Amino acid sequence: MTYTPNGGSAPPGAGPPTMPAMPPQPGPPAAAPPAAPVAQPAPAGPGGPDPTPPRRTAWAEGVDQLRAAATTEPGRLRIIGAALALLLVAFGSMTAWQMTERSDAADNVLSSSQPLSADAALIYRSLATANTAASSGFLAGGQETAESRQEYERGINTAADRLINAAANSEPGSESAETITRLNKRLPEYKGLIERARSNNRQGYPLGGAYLRYANAKMQVMLKDAEDLYKMENQRLRSDYNAATPYPWIAIGAGVLAIGGLVWAQRRNYQRTNRVLNHGLVAATAASTVVLLWLVVGHSLARAGLNDSYDHGVRSLNVLNDARIASLKARGNETLTLVSRGAETKKVDGEVVDAYDNDYKIQMKDLSAKLAAAEDLADDSAGESPVKGATENMQVWQDRHKEARTADDSGDYQGALDRVIGSDDKKPTGQCFDNVDTDLEKALEHEQGEFEVAAEDGKGAMTGLPVGAAVLAVLGASGAVLGIGRRLSEYR
């Protein structure tokens, strides 16, 4: 059954009958071997007598052989089979590769960069809380209360705890690792200064206040670092999102190419043989269509989920974290205004104002802007109501703050103190700050939940895709080879 349609292969006159004798083996091996078996006879023929071909490269020979093979239908079929198998395997591996990449990035978003970004925000918050607690404790006159001491301890402990976690998750040598190291180094220094402030305070020495100022100066540097860390972690989160959401164009392109190839092969088959269905090729087409659909739909779903988690989770979380930091800063400045008693001034629009009170105003403005933004971003009432609560509490805070300032400015320092850090019956602003903080915590919890659900959905949509694509692609490739092999066997 070996035809030589034309004696095109001129040079070494490789006996047409020599080569097709071999490939009766069907199935997968046939896909790869065609080149190999053909290769042997060719050099065997001219091997000894002809000295001219030594210059020819393996590539040139391969091309020649392919050309030779292409002259026969079985040869052509082998090439088509090999090409189809290659396309399908390529499609499968591209899909597996690109989707693994995206799925890993999505996994990072969920299990690493978002928690780290939240941790960084928490580090900042805890440090600021501890510092505010320490200065309020001093402000209270006399010895600090058990409450403010506990708040201070809690802040320091949380910060230390989160720093360890952040250090474990940071890339060695990276900028954030350096920042974390610096923070880790300064935290005990800061604690040491506070302890000295306390012991001097106990003895009734104003030196305690001087230590507190020194500690506060150190904390301001630490807060700057913590803010940088928060920004860096947010960037990392953003870049993980950027790695997880783009369409896997290479895989999609490979899929389209593979399916196109299969369709063309079947059409050719039909035209040559008038047979409509080649089981192997149909199976291969079905498998690759499934993979392509899975890829597109799965990734679109994942993308939608991730984008949703960003728009409704991360953005809200960022705004809420910013709001919480602003309220903390405002509170810190409010107490420092009273601690410093006008010691620090600043020129604003040509007017000399209290530096801390000025900062308080700036932070309050920021807080109110951030709360408004959070309310806009909140997409359900469960997310909206704590933000509304925080806004209301902030307004009360501002009213009370005005009263406190009026009292201080008219010489009633004790009255101002009472309205800022006094007991609850004195209606202090501290109460409002606590309420704002509680509300924001509630809102943060809610948005964190939203984020996790959406991101989990997104990540879930990609589950199994890389493995599934690989398996199906191999199945498809086998189908294609089998299908072609079936046609090929007709030539025996």
Residue ranges that bind other proteins, judged by CB under 8 A = 138-139, 141-143, 196, 200-211, 213-214, 340-345, 352, 408-411, 413-414, 417
Q: Which candidate, 212, 228, 222, places its Cα nearest to that of 184?
A: 222
DSSP string, 196-213: HHHHHHHTT-THHHHHHH
Measured from the CB of residue 136, what is the shortest distance to other proteins in angstroms?
12
Q: Is the dihedral of CA 21, 22, 26, 27 positive or negative?
A: negative
Measured from the CB of residue 424, what is the shortest distance to other proteins in angstroms?
17
Q: DSSP state, 113?
A: I
Is 341 or 492 the residue whose CB approaches other proteins more closely?
A: 341
CB 155 within 8 A of CB 126: yes
- Alpha carbon 276 to chain centroid distance? 48
- Nearest-10 Cα torsion for 132, 135, 140, 146: 70
Q: Name the token pair of 33.
A: 């071997």
Is 172 or 204 the residue whose CB approaches other proteins more closely?
A: 204
Distance (Å, rounded) from C-alpha 110 to C-alpha 339? 43
Distance (Å, rounded) from C-alpha 67 to C-alpha 58? 14
Is 157 or 410 the residue whose CB approaches other proteins more closely?
A: 410
Measured from the CB of residue 349, what is the shortest distance to other proteins in angstroms?
14
Measured from the CB of residue 360, what is the shortest distance to other proteins in angstroms?
17
Query: H or E stretch including 280?
Result: helix 279-308
CB 102 within 8 A of CB 439: no
Distance (Å, rounded) from C-alpha 117 to C-alpha 235? 9
Is 346 or 492 the residue whose CB approaches other proteins more closely?
A: 346
DSSP string, 300-316: HHHHHHHHHIIIIIIHH
Is 180 or 421 the residue whose CB approaches other proteins more closely?
A: 421
Measured from the CB of residue 341, what is the shortest distance to other proteins in angstroms?
4
- Give the SS3 label for residue 351: strand
Half-sphere CA count of 348, side-chain side, radius 13 A = 12
Q: What is the largest CA-CA distance in the chain?
A: 117
Q: In the beta sheet, which residues pair with residue 347?
A: 352
Is 207 or 372 the residue whose CB approaches other proteins more closely?
A: 207
Measured from the CB of residue 209, what is the shortest distance to other proteins in angstroms?
6
Q: Is the dihedral of CA 479, 481, 482, 488 positive or negative?
A: positive
Measured from the CB of residue 204, what is the shortest distance to other proteins in angstroms?
4
Distance (Å, rounded) from C-alpha 492 to C-alpha 490? 6
Q: Name the token pair of 439.
A: 């509300």
Is 212 or 455 the residue whose CB approaches other proteins more closely?
A: 212
Is 275 or 341 the residue whose CB approaches other proteins more closely?
A: 341
Distance (Å, rounded) from C-alpha 307 to C-alpha 241? 8
Strands 351-354 and 345-348 come out as: antiparallel
Q: Which candidate, 138, 137, 135, places its Cα nearest to that of 206?
A: 138
Measured from the CB of residue 104, what is the shortest distance to other proteins in angstroms?
48
Measured from the CB of residue 110, what is the shortest distance to other proteins in angstroms?
45
Instruction: Find where tokens 């951030």 sit.
Output: 370
Is 49 or 411 the residue whose CB approaches other proteins more closely?
A: 411
Is 28 or 415 the residue whose CB approaches other proteins more closely?
A: 415
Is 357 or 450 the residue whose CB approaches other proteins more closely?
A: 357
Measured from the CB of residue 128, what is the shortest distance to other proteins in angstroms?
22
